[in-house]
Structure 1
Amino acid sequence: MRGASCNLSIRTRSSTHSAPPGVGAIVALTFRSAVDNPDRFPRSRDVGAWAGLTPRRWQSGMTDITGRITKAGDPHVRVMLFEAAASILGRARVMSPLKAWGLRIAQRTSMKKAIVAVSRKLAMILLAMWKSGTAYWATGRPPASAQDLASSMMTTSMRLRAPPKPRARHH
């Protein structure tokens, strides 16, 4: 039992470096344990409906009403994805394409609707990453070499640090 927990912590520590922003070990493990078999979803967008992150629809004749989310599926997964999306839109300092997309939705509608949309997209990204076995790259393409990876990590860490604010002198 001790060896299994040690092995799990090593796997989660290494996998969080290639995860999307806002997704840590707890979110990744909750998603992975709830989905269990990624091949049961023929398309990545099907996982959004499974998690209950798609809007309800009422249709009859010419009437088409879009309502609140369905809340189908595992509530723990939905909460974890919602929290990860909220941290991407609210607390993440680095602007990623996912954050920019969510902020554009927030400008059009509301922040809560944007968080739900980003959490649905995050579920799709996590499933696609799991099925293909690839890491998350915000630029859309992986770095060509290890040197490119190191330089991108260096510029990211440099962007995280804010310049010092000048102090006002009172005489």
Structure 2
Amino acid sequence: MLELIWANSESTASKSRRLGNKENVAVKDLVKLAEYQAGALDELVKKYGNKIGMISFGIWVCGEHIRIYEMDLNYDGVYRMILVADVCVPIEREKIVGLVPVLEALYNVKHRISELLMVIASNSPPSSPSRSSYGRMPTPSPKLLRVTIAGLQP
């Protein structure tokens, strides 16, 4: 069986969107973004060490919507992806005031990137130790205490 696929044919993502399967496509796109962010975070950890404060960013542009995600690795090899901004770019002249939240979101990302660069540049981040592996920071073992219970005699 041969199938003819035209070079200018509609993509499966486009077809899914047109057929109303937008949520399924959005989930697949988000998973791809998460995989990309995890890979970027892994590269940062390999290059600079697994310091607390290491993060990667993902910016997802879908039409006029912009979603900005931050990913960290604060738990036992569990990546945590957080939506830090969900803004809509104004496309009409009358709604130009809607550009302010977009600029604020981008400024906040710039600020977070500056913080990340400080973590990378420092030998040990302020108020937190460096982690050498993906494992949990060791916790001190509990100390045994001797407790004497005095009872009343009838």
**TM-score, scaled to structure 1:** 0.25
More helix by share: 1
Larger relative contact order, structure 1 or 2 (CA cutoff 8 Å, min sep 6): 1
Larger Rg: 2
